[in-house]
Structure 1
Amino acid sequence: MAPPISPPLKALLLAMEYTPNVAGGVGTYVYELARGLARGGCKVTVLAYTPGEPAVLREPNLTVHMMPPSRGSLSQAGKLSLVGGIRVFNDDLIHRGRELIHEEKPDLIHFHQWHTHRAARALAHETGVPVLGTSHYISEPAERWWGQTPDPEILEEERSFYDGSTNVISVSDSMSELIRETYGMPASLLHTIHCGMDAGPFLQPSHAPEDYARLRATVATPDDPVVLYTGRLHPMKGISAIFAAAERVLERRPNVRFLLAGGTDSRESTQMVQTLTQRYAHLRHRIKLLGKLPRQQLGLLHRIADLALVPSLYEPFGYTAIEAMASGLPLVATRSGGPSEIVDHEKTGLLVPVLPGAPGGPREVDVESLAAAQLNLLEDRERARRMGLAGQQRVVELFSLPRMVAANLAVYQKLVGGQGREVRS
């Protein structure tokens, strides 16, 4: 007689974001991971923040509780700092987490970023189950690289997150190195797992060629090459370098169109964009700001573009990079953080330097190199095509959802240990 199958592993995921409709990379990661774990046979519950009405989303093996702050938390948050408000919301997470755990105790609690580490650790302590965190971003020293001083309260939360009491997954080798150097995190507790995704929607066109031709005609003529940027409009993302490099590209190729799809997330970022559009007003007819778009629409833009830009001063990983590559676009990115681990230089795209800048001052994207790389690919269309195809293959091999899920499950298995739970990739 065959031995009985162990019950599937039950995971409780805590996050401030779920799906890219809420924010960015963290929401995308949690969305992809939760669905991948569920497809692999795990029983997954997600408890995530929403600014709107509460909702429960259900799929096979997956239940997502979208939770707004309580009235009491909102009342307190109005008198507190941003970090103070997040700490208060953690109390809501603890209360709701207790209710869910009372219904069914998880085998492991997995939180994302420092924003939910207090609630996750408290629930893990109460229940005696293992707890694990994933780091998607680090303020110190990264924010200093684009001229921003990290919030002291956020640094306090990061010090607590990386205090060595909890296993941590980071999304790139670059992030792992920063965590070790900045906070002395023991290597034995730090696991590097690159982000992954279900690449299927990006690998294959979802519309007929004539549909893409009509869409492209709304932004460019058939003879106008299209350069695409997707992501937040934030100093971290090298937005000023996009404008400066575009000016140089257009001097040589005046028919190029630049599309920037993304929104600002602060007053400072909005002011930055306003300043850049005024400074480069003479390029207004060639640089189009599309605003923030749903992830599905970004896939449409990939199909009408000729190349994609990821010119970040620092990028922990960069979902936008693998999404563009999966769509067959050659990539021009900076040799900084995640993109330098994603792009195989001169095979799937081109990497350009980030310069140190003045002593103690912010870093700068090498604008001349950024412009030259774009011109190289725009003028050698066959090389660009080969890079696009190679990029698709690289995403399938290295940044697939099954690969990311299997790596997370391997860490889960180490933490859950001999508790008799089945984990499958």
Structure 2
Amino acid sequence: MRTASRILVAHPSPDLYGSDWQLVETIHGLIEAGHEVVVALPLDGPLVEVLRDAGARVAVMPFTVLRKALLSPTGLARLSAQAAPEIARLRAVIRASRAEAVLTNTVTIPWWPVAASAAGVPVLAHVHEAEDTQRRIIRAGLNAPLLAASRIVANSGAARDALLDVQPRLAPRTEVVHNGVAGPDQPLEPLRHRRPGDPFRIAMVGRLSPRKGVDVALDAVGLLRRSGVDASLSVCGSVFPGYEWYEAELRERAGRRDLDGHVELLGYVRPTWPVLEAADAVVVPSRAEPFGNTAVEAMHAARPLVASRVQGLAEVVTDAVTGLLVPIEQVQDGTGTPTDPDRFVADLAERLTAVATDEARAKSMGVASRKRVEEHFAWTAIAEQTMEVYRWALDHG
């Protein structure tokens, strides 16, 4: 990579969740390599201070971020009709920044790769999505702007396959680099020995979103409790604007008789290590998950993990070795809804029961998890691979 390059990074969210923290780690690596980094965000938020502490400059400016309402043929057509003025505006921003490369983080900011290419600047696109439940025409349109990218990093084989399924021309430019996830600053306490009468404490970390399956986790814990397991659930995560209805549904469900007093909706929590340290198991019941940073965090904590066998989670978790995977069949209609939601809940509860009733197996999976994460998913194991891709993009863009 050329010395002291100026890199403009476009990112769709000012929050602090999986892809946001992945971006922070990447920016640390770029700055440590001697590069100047400017980050463009569409809104102010908690990520701004973290990026500035990392040494990046931050510019808050309006630009299009794709939301679910636009993921229809009509929505994409409307978006395309509005593209020309925004591409021109972003091209002017890129030229004024004197950036020598542009990094676009996720496919939900479609006009940045096109604008960078129009400005004559190499584009590195980082794909964190593995949409395979949307209709093919929608997925093709969603990923079409990546045709302007010089190089593409997909955070899992699932994300790469979903991309190339609808844009096969991108195959020579696309490379899989799994997310690197930082572990705790200090070693956590090992998994506790549960004495007779001790409750079974389950943790979940993630957005309060239907895609993350928080409702499935609540129903599974209710099923455990009705079967005689004294289970409780702590959920770390906040809701996307516009999804307040989902949080209200979760709170209503948590207040029912079978769960009342045994579910904590903690809101946004950072760091999550104290919650994971207190847990006897971690659950990741996502209906769609291109990678699964929260699963890797559970592995750092050496906690037994129960997760959906879906997309990137199937790459992260080795079934019956580092955790237990729950089958989930999805309807290919854009909803990601399991064909048999009751079976999904029952299977999740069954595997959580297996962890609760077999302490030796739970500890074995936790130990195996920590070994696997240190070898494959710790940031130190991923950093050089990530930086090598960025060097190539700058040198050959």
Q: TM-score range by the shorter chain?
A: 0.7 to 0.9
Match status 1:380 vs 2:358:
yes
Amino acid at match of 2:312: G
User: Secondary structure, in 3 states, of the residue corresponding to 2:257?
Assistant: helix
Instruction: Using structure 1 for the length normalisation, give the TM-score.
Output: 0.76
> What pairs up with 1:354-369 in 2 under 5 angstroms?
354-356=328-330, 362-363=337-338, 364=341, 366-369=344-347
What is the CA–CA distance in structure 1 between the aligned matches of 2:61 and 2:217, rounded to whole Å? 36
- Counterpart Cα distance in 1 of 2:219 and 2:372: 30
Whether 1:100 aligns to 2:100 is no
Q: Which residue of 2 aligns with 1:174?
A: 158
Q: Tell whether the 8 Å contact from 1:69 to 1:89 is kept in structure 2 after alignment.
A: no
Q: Equivalences for 1:391-406 in 2 at 5 Å?
A: 391-406=369-384
For residues 53-109 of structure 1, give each alpha carbon's deviation from its aligned partner in whole angstroms, at most 9, with x where no partner exists: 99685457x323141439xx9xxxxxxx899699787776555443331xxx42x22
Letter matched to residue 13 of structure 2: E
Pairing 1:137–2:129 present:
yes
Work out the CA distance in 2 between the residues paired with 1:31 and 1:340. 25
Contact kept? 2:296, 2:377, Cα under 8 Å: yes
Q: Which amino acid aligns with 1:137?
A: E
Q: What residue number does 1:333 align with?
A: 307
CA contact (8 A) 2:126 2:153 kept: yes
Task: Report if aligned partners of 1:321, 1:342 keep a CA contact under 8 Å in 2.
Answer: yes
Q: Distance in 2 between matches of 1:287 and 1:166?
A: 50
Identical residues among aligned pairs (%): 23
Q: In the aligned structure 1, how far is the partner of 2:89 from the partner of 2:245?
A: 34
Q: Which amino acid aligns with 2:129?
A: Y
> Which secondary structure state, in structure 1, belongs to the residue aligned with residue 142 of structure 2?
helix
SS in 2 for 1:163: helix
Q: Does 1:226 align with 2:201?
A: yes
1:116 maps onto 2:99 in alignment:
no
Residue aligned with 2:221, SS: helix
Specify the alignment match of 1:352 in structure 2.
326
Query: 1:329 is aligned with what amino acid?
Result: R
Structure 1, 272-281 or 257-266: larger mean CA deviation: 272-281
Conserved in 2, the CA contact under 8 Å of 1:50 and 1:66? no
State how far apart, in whole Å, the 1-side matches of 2:384 and 2:202 are: 35
Q: What are the Cα deviations for residues 205-236 of structure 1, in whole angstroms up to 9, with x where unaligned? A: 4xx99xxx9xxxxxxx9811210111112221
Match of 1:285 among 260, 277, 286: 260
| Distance in 1 separating the partners of 2:320 and 2:381 | 25
Task: Determine if contact 2:134/2:332 at 8 Å carries over to the other structure.
Answer: no
The structure-2 alpha-carbon separation of the partners of 1:276 and 1:301, relative to structure 1 and needing over 3 Å to count, comes to: closer
Give unmatched runs, 5+ long, in structure 2.
65-74
Q: Which of 187, 196, 199 is equivalent to 1:204? A: 187
RMSD (CA atoms) = 3.7
Matched residue, 1:15: 11
Q: 1:222 to 1:96 in 2, by over 3 A?
A: farther
Q: What residue is the counterpart of 2:71 in the other structure?
A: none
CA contact (8 A) 1:333 1:350 kept: yes
Partner of 2:202, secondary structure, is: strand
Return the match for 2:171 from 164, 187, 191: 187
Tell me if structure 1 keeps the 8 A contact 2:307–2:325: yes
Structure 2 residue 241 is matched with structure 1 residue 271 = no
Residue pair 1:54, 1:68 contacting (<8 A) in 2 also: no
Aligned length: 374
Query: Following the alignment from structure 2 to structure 1, what is the Cα–Cα distance between the partners of residues 96 and 168?
Result: 36
Tell me the alpha carbon deviations over residues 373-414 of structure 1, each in whole angstroms, 9 at most, x when there is no partner.
111111112221221122112111111213333222222233
Secondary structure of the corresponding residue to residue 277 of structure 2: helix
Within 5 Å, which residues of 2 pair with 1:46-125? Answer: 46-51=39-44, 58=52, 62-69=55-62, 94-101=91-98, 105-106=99-100, 108-125=101-118
Q: Which runs of 5+ in 1 are unaligned?
A: 74-80, 145-149, 214-220, 420-425
Instruction: Report the Cα distance in structure 1 between the residues aligned to 2:43 and 2:29, rounded to whole angstroms.
Output: 22
Alignment of 1:311-330 (within 5 A): 311-330=285-304
Instruction: Give the TM-score, by structure 2 length.
Output: 0.80
In 2, Cα distance between equivalents of 1:277 and 1:321: 24
User: Is 1:240 aligned to residue 231 of structure 2?
Assistant: no
Give the superposition deviation at 1:114.
2.8
Tell whether 2:234 aligns with 1:250: no
CA distance in 1 between partners of 2:162 and 2:361 (Å): 35
State the distance in 2 between where 1:42 and 1:49 align. 23
Q: Partner amino acid for 2:133? A: A
Tell me the residue number matched to 1:39: 32
Q: Counterparts of 1:123 and 1:358 in 2: how far apart (Å)?
A: 34
Is the 1:233–1:239 Cα contact (8 Å) retained in structure 2?
yes
Distance change >3 Å, CA 15–CA 223, structure 1 → 2: same
Aligned CA distance change for structure 1 residues 64 and 382 (closer, same or farther; 3 Å): farther
Matched, 1:27 2:20: yes
Letter in 1 for 2:175: H
Contact 2:139 2:166 in 1 (8 A): no
Indicate the SS of the match to 1:295: coil
Contact 2:147/2:170 (8 A) holds in 1:
no
Residue 52 of structure 1: CA displacement? Answer: 5.4
Distance 1:198 1:131, change over 3 A: same
Spell out, residue by residue over 1:140-179, the C-alpha distance to the aligned partner (whole angstroms, 9 max, x if none): x3357xxxxx9x9x75761422436543211110111111
